[in-house]
Structures are given as C-alpha cells and as structure tokens.
Homo-oligomer: A and B are copies of this chain.
C-alpha cells in the first residue's frame, strides 16, 4: 500500500519555523515504519512573492490530490498594501473553498499546566475542553454579490451572507456526530432575531437534531454566545456556528484558554475515493510576523494539528495519542516557549528545542 501523502504549506511569518518542528515528528514516525510521502509548497505571502498569487493552480491541484494538507499560517503587514484579490488570505480561502472543507473543528482546551496564563480566573478555565465547529466554505466569506461599487457619487462596500439548507445540514451533521462522541451537548449560535439566514440556520439545525435524539441541542444568539463564552465557557461541549461568527467566537474561546500557542484545528470535507475526508490541518494562531525568526514561536499548536491529521485522516488514534502525550510530558517537565513565560525562574526554550524535546518524548 502506498504511503499516506501530505502536502505541507508552511506559509508566512512563524509558519515555516513551526512546520520545521512538525517535520521532525513526521520523520520520527518515518524511521519507525510509518512513512509519509511529504511534498512542500508555497501559500500566502510566500507564494505571492514567488509567483504573484497567494496560491498557484499547481499547488491547488496538489492539495486536491494528497491525503491531507498541513498549513502553517498566512499573512503579514508586508502584504497589507496588496490588492484584496491577491492578499495572502485568499490562498487559504481558496484551499478551503475548492477542497470544500465545510467543517472546521476548533478545540478550545485549557492545558492544566498552563491555566494560569489565561486572563480568566483559574476555576473558570481549568479543565476546559470544548470544540467549536465552524462552517468554513460559505456564508459572508464567499457569498455573491461582493465588492466595492460606485453608487451615486460614493463607493459602497458589499458582502453577502448566503446559506443553503444543504450547507447548513452537512455542517450540523458533523457537529452532532462530534457531540455524540463527546458530551452529547450541542449549542448552535446565530442571530435568528436579526438575520433571516440565522432563522434558516436554526430551523435546519433543529431538523437535523431529530436524527440525534441523544444530543441535547440548544440555541443561543451569537452575541449572548460571546458573553457566555467569557462568563462560564464550561457550560458548553460542542458549539456549531457559521463562518463569520465562528471566526470571532473560536478566536475568543481560544484566547480564553490561555493556550493559544497550543491549539490545533482540523478542516474537513466530504470523503474522497479512498474513504478519507478531504482535510487541512492548521494551528489556530496566526503568522505572528513580529516574532518570526526569533525562536520564540511555539510549535505545539502545529504539532498537535499533525496529531489531528493522524486521528481524523489516517485513523491512527494510538499514534495521535502518542504525540499528544509527548506534548503533555514536555509541559509537565516545565518546558516553556517564550509565549508561555511568567512562572518564576523558568528559562524559555526555543522553537527548535521544544520540537526536539517532544520528539525525545515520543
């Protein structure tokens, strides 16, 4: 049987640095009889610098043909001046859209050793373990019409939120399936009191819920959801929401944990011919251009994203557990990258030292 194939798109900022540490983990598995066929390519600003586009068609084709894509991060102030159509983010958005990765799983988990890094009180976040399922291929990110037009004698900026029943249904189903494997509690968030797309969202999620009678389904307006995430996040198990709300809510939830540099994500689509889902894995953190090249980046979110790939794309739960255990072990040993300082007398390790330590624990 052919080796599982991976496309690595390290991207911009700290992307390449954290991805280098993931390579060490991949190589470790390679020397133990579990080889991956790895290809690397460019995305985001890096692709723009080389090719004048944040994602070439050739890279897009590769992404479509591999078993899973690992992405670092895209964007940076250097590219702020670029036209909207070639901004680094467009590369990532094209991948999500053309691979049809409709279910973005964003765990917000508080690592016990790190609970004190949260701006929230320890008891509010310690032990927190929730997942936000964000719709990723539709909504206002992709709806037409869009653009900046002239009207009268001024410009008008337009974007369209658009959700079909089937788009809502499939992401709702992913969320219910996940809830079944977890605490069987699902909260759906929208603004059905203000937006018709939210009314449809609530209706369809409720219908899908009839197929999952064991899951306790609730609904919350997204603004109340933002409040409740800040107040008592442990009331949630799985949250399902649209692309734009998911963007804000999952970032807020991630920050609350105090473990931002630790949080992976998986973006999953429909099963391919080989039964594996289309999939892209990436850390929740951004490209952090301010610390790029300084050895301060935390590679753990990216390494845990690879662990998610092992679990969701390759059905290698034991191997994923092994990576996660290695991460917990280095944390328990007190190893900290620069983003996790604050404890007395702790000296930071570099990005690369953290990667090495995790491989040593494997």
Contact = CB atoms under 8 A, between A and B. Distances in A.
Interface of A: 75, 84, 87, 89, 93, 119-121, 124, 140-141, 143, 146-148, 151, 154-166, 191, 193-201, 222-224, 226-232, 244-245, 247-249, 251-252, 254-256, 260, 286
A160 B160 contact: yes
Given A159-B197, A227-B260, 16 more contacts: A119-B121, A119-B230, A146-B196, A155-B165, A156-B165, A156-B200, A157-B195, A157-B199, A157-B201, A158-B161, A158-B162, A158-B197, A224-B251, A226-B251, A230-B252, A252-B252
A227 B231 CA distance: 15
B191 A247 contact: yes
Q: How many copies does the complex hold?
A: 2
Nearest to A160: B160
Contacts of A251: 223-224, 226-227
Nearest 5 Cβ contacts at the A-B interface:
A157-B200, A157-B197, A227-B255, A223-B251, A226-B252
A92 to B, nearest CB: 10
A229 B255 CA distance: 10
A251 B252 CA distance: 12
B141 A194 contact: yes
Nearest to A285: B227
11 contacts: A119-B232, A140-B140, A156-B200, A157-B199, A157-B200, A159-B196, A223-B251, A226-B226, A226-B252, A226-B255, A252-B252
B196 A157 contact: yes
Nearest to A145: B160
Nearest to A258: B231
Contacts of A232: 119
A252 B185 CA distance: 23
A194 B255 CA distance: 21
Contact of A147 (B159, B191, B196, B222): B196
Contacts of A256: 230
A60 to B, nearest CB: 19
Nearest to A162: B158
A188 B151 CA distance: 24
Contact of A157 (B156, B162, B231): B162
A207 B245 CA distance: 28
A157 B201 CA distance: 8
A135 B232 CA distance: 28
A349 to B, nearest CB: 23
Contacts of A147: 196
A191 B159 CA distance: 11
Contacts of A159: 160-161, 195-197
A79 to B, nearest CB: 9
B158 A160 contact: yes
A230 to B, nearest CB: 5
Contacts of A222: 247-248
